[in-house]
Amino acid sequence: MIAMAKRREDPKGKKTVRNPECNLDGDFVSRVKSVKDLSAANIQDALLHSRYVQILLSLTFIGSLLRFYHLGFNSLWLDEASTYTFAVNSFQGIWQATTSGEFNPPLFYWLEHIMLGVGNNEAILRFIPAVAGVLTIPLIYFVGKEFLDRTTGLIAAAVFAFSPFLIYYSQEARAYSLMFFFVAFGLLFYLKALKDNRLVNWVLFGILSALAFWSHFYAIVIIGALVLYALAIQLGNIKENLQNLKMLIISVVIFSVASLPLILLGVQIFTSRTGGGPTFGVQGFDVIYQTFLQVAGFNELVMFILVILFILGIIQAFRIDSKQGIFLVTLTLLTFLISLVLSYRIPMVPRYLIFFTAIFVLGVALSYRLLYSLVNHKGVVYGLIILLIVVNLPVPISFYTGYTKDDWRGFSQTMEQTAKPGDFIVMVPGYIAQPFDYYYSNSTAGTFEFGANDANTLAALESQKRAGKTNVSTYYIVTGDIYSANPAGDALTWLNVHTTALGRDTGISLWISN
């Protein structure tokens, strides 16, 4: 089991001194040990004297500002508009859409359906991911505290709060932030369960894992890895007493029962989606590089710093307790090994691995033990936190000053001024009509809207226009999604021959027929 760092004995029976733990509170000891101790006096005492409480509250407050500031600044892009398309359906309609092949579970869409009862704009659609992102900051602290100590938790929370990768997906109307919240919550009780083997902790791990899976199918990767690790470390005890496995089995059964409809559906969708191989995303070992790069905010220097700290943290974990080191290595290897294999069967993008950030920030935070063993001063911890914040700051600053998603809102306004009644508007590929139609109404503008994914459809639409009115224009709205929708490339070839490019707005190109 994973336990707090203790003194260990070498093969000769001599005790080895564990790495020192930095206690930022000094002589102060909080009287809050459990929920029963949450009196006004004890809370005030902790607020006034505990550096951990003060810094964690500050990180959570700043993290909430970073996640809610300019929440509606970017317009909805394709995936977010897809969320809206499903969320406007009834609860039953959302489930039916999932069973019809939508490669995302329904829980997030159900919650978004409820939010649409409040209103309909970008900020409302992104509200749940933002809240989930904020709540995960203190959760990561408690995960780090449970894994090793309070300082590890605090540093991990600091990395999480200022991570450009996590801020971005906290402002994305998709299920990634919600899945991460449930994974982190489940991980907290998982670590507790490994220590005390109490039924309540295993039950909560099973329930929260099911909620993570109902949020996003890819959560099964981290859930499976955690179960395999728990099974592996219990093997020795299982041989002595089969009862030691009972709690883990109960947890797996709870997860399986709660997720059974989705598991069956997921297998069906996976089978249907893997027939022709992926048409977009990254494959092979590039999955590893791209994941670390995106976690570092697409900055290779920051990636280098964080990966070095992560490796140092793993080394320290092995020095403190080999089981902690094995835990970090096992979860890392299983996550990437499974993802590497799947990348050749289904579209793979690094955001699916957002849950790995929990393991990553734990490793990064653990590196403080090495630095603190060299310089026995609290300033090492504060310095490391400041460093981790500073290296991440440039990305959030630029994040709030320019569009980071396709500007469909601005583009639709341009089309309202450009296209005249009777004109044809062709979406290439057809499904990008979702974000466009969120802002643009062809019925109001008097235009005719079509979708096309290949050259034959484009040619047929052009013939249809010429057979009717010749005094109208045909506008083609094109995004990079055409590369995955039309791998053969004949659609772009047709456009290059028969149309003229008018311009580009963020990732959206506008063409007009010759």
What is the rounded CA–CA span in Å between residue 156 and residue 138?
Answer: 10
Closest to 380 measured CA to CA, from 309, 279, 274, 307 = 309
Contact indicator for 285, 231 with CB cutoff of 8 Å? no
Lowest mean pLDDT among 51-55, 464-468, 490-494: 464-468
Tokens of 80: 């977010």
Name the residue with higher pLDDT: 98 or 437: 437
Looking at residues 171-198, what average pLDDT do you find? 96
The H or E element containing residue 477 is: strand 474-478
Query: For residue 284, is it left (φ>0), alpha (ψ between -120 and 50) or beta?
Result: left
Tokens of 43: 């809370």
Tokens of 503: 């311009």
Looking at residues 4-10, what average pLDDT do you find? 44
Name the residue with higher pLDDT: 31 or 221: 221
The H or E element containing residue 466 is: helix 455-467
Contact indicator for 144, 154 with CB cutoff of 8 Å? yes
Count CB neighbours of 45 within 10 A: 17
The H or E element containing residue 72 is: none
What is the rounded CA–CA span in Å between residue 212 and residue 107?
Answer: 9
What is the rounded CA–CA span in Å between residue 473 and residue 260?
Answer: 52
The H or E element containing residue 53 is: helix 51-68
Please work out, in degrees rounded to the nearest 5, the angle formed at the alpha carbon of residue 25 by the alpha carbons of 24 and 28: 165
DSSP bridge partners of 427: 451, 477
What is the rounded CA–CA span in Å between residue 491 and residue 459?
Answer: 10
pLDDT tens, residue by residue, 138-155: 999 999 999 999 999 999
Contact indicator for 125, 83 with CB cutoff of 8 Å? yes
Lowest mean pLDDT among 128-137, 316-325, 399-408, 461-470: 461-470
Looking at residues 97-112, what average pLDDT do you find? 89
What is the rounded CA–CA span in Å between residue 494 and residue 498?
Answer: 6
Count CB neighbours of 242 within 10 A: 10
Tokens of 97: 């859409």
pLDDT tens, residue by residue, 32-53: 777 777 888 888 888 888 999 9
Q: Which residue has the tokens 């590929």?
A: 429
pLDDT tens, residue by residue, 72-88: 999 999 999 999 999 99
CA distances from 138 to 46, 156, 337, 476 (A): 16, 10, 29, 47
Tokens of 455: 């050259």
Q: CA dihedral in degrees (87, 92, 97, 101; nearest 10)?
A: 130
Q: Which residue has the tokens 């080394």?
A: 315
What is the rounded CA–CA span in Å between residue 402 and residue 394?
Answer: 13
Please enumerate in sequence order all residues whose Cβ is within 8 A of that of 165, keeping only pairs 6 or more positions apart, or say none: 294, 295, 296, 297, 354, 357
Please work out, in degrees rounded to the nearest 5, the angle formed at the alpha carbon of residue 433 by the alpha carbons of 429 and 435: 120
Rg, Å, the chain Cα set: 26
Residue 118 has pLDDT above 80, yes or no: yes
What is the rounded CA–CA span in Å between residue 276 and residue 496?
Answer: 28
Residue 375 has pLDDT above 70, yes or no: yes
What is the rounded CA–CA span in Å between residue 407 and residue 319?
Answer: 50
pLDDT tens, residue by residue, 251-300: 999 999 999 999 988 787 777 666 566 667 788 889 999 999 999 988 89
Residue 441 has pLDDT above 90, yes or no: yes
- Output the pTM of the full model: 0.92
- Confidence tier at 204 by pLDDT (50, 70, 90): very high
